Amino acid sequence: ECYVQNTAREYAKIYAAEAEPLEGFGEVPEIIPIFLVHRPANNIPYATVEEELVGEFVKYSVRDGKEVNFRRRDSEAGQKCCTFQHWVYEKTNGSLLVTDLQGVGMKLTDVGIATLAKGYKGFKGNCSISFIEQFRALHQCNKYCEMLGLKSLRTTHQKQRKATSMKSKNLPNSSTIKKTVPKKAREPRDFVSSEH
């Protein structure tokens, strides 16, 4: 849990460094740090500790990569969280996705990370690989994605789907394969000469 959240936090710091200087971008979501504490005298010797977030707790995205659309559309924090997901996805060439973005305002906690099967640069996430595919299919860019110059995932996804469907159209299948049955060998005919 600590490793996942603090890894996502490092990506959020880099995202903030790129986004904050942009005119009109404003405040950037922050993933709060989480710490592992060893308490040897306790029945449960390990615990995690993080800043207490006071206020309305909102989920901006869920673990499966789907955006929580109503909150996202109405909220600057939600739009910036979705942009952060897109940014991470693009920076890692589609190999990693920060999911389950939730918190109070711009302070986020308890995030998840999905990675491709082999992981990404030695890191293996705690969420299903399918979340990456779902995010790519469902994400809708917003003005913050545009400000960062992120490429539309919908266009990329549609091109990939079109290429896949074109390939499958060109591949033979049981209905398009012309079935040929060898003809019976013709019986020899008598040669009739026109000279007779």
Identify the weakest region by mean pLDDT among 36-50, 70-84, 97-111.
70-84
Q: Say if 71 falls within a structural domain.
A: yes
Q: Say if 107 falls within a structural domain.
A: yes
Q: What mean pLDDT, rounded, does the chain reach?
A: 77
Q: Which of 64, 74, 100, 190 is labelled catalytic?
A: 100
CATH code where residue 66 lies: 3.20.200.10
Q: In terms of Cα–Cα distance, which of 87, 81, 131, 90 is closest to 109?
A: 81
Counting runs of H as helices and runs of E as strands, what totals does the chain give? Answer: 6, 8
The span from the CA of 196 to the CA of 147, in Å, is: 93
- What is the pLDDT at residue 180? 36
**For residue 95, what are the domain limits?**
2-152
The span from the CA of 15 to the CA of 11, in Å, is: 6
The span from the CA of 57 to the CA of 39, in Å, is: 29
Q: Say if 181 falls within a structural domain.
A: no
Residue 63 pLDDT > 80, yes or no?
no
**Which has more pLDDT, 106 or 117?**
106
Assess contact for 76 and 84: CB atoms under 8 A: no
Close Cβ partners of 85 (under 8 Å, ≥ 6 residues apart): 61, 97, 98, 99, 101, 135, 139
Tell me if residue 100 is catalytic: yes
Q: Say if 48 falls within a structural domain.
A: yes
Quote the number of domains for the chain.
1
pTM, full prediction = 0.72
Q: Say if 193 falls within a structural domain.
A: no
pLDDT 10s digits, 114-162: 888 676 666 666 677 778 888 888 888 999 999 999 999 876 545 444 4
- pLDDT above 90 as % of the chain: 43
Q: Say if 186 falls within a structural domain.
A: no
The span from the CA of 140 to the CA of 58, in Å, is: 19
Q: Say if 134 falls within a structural domain.
A: yes
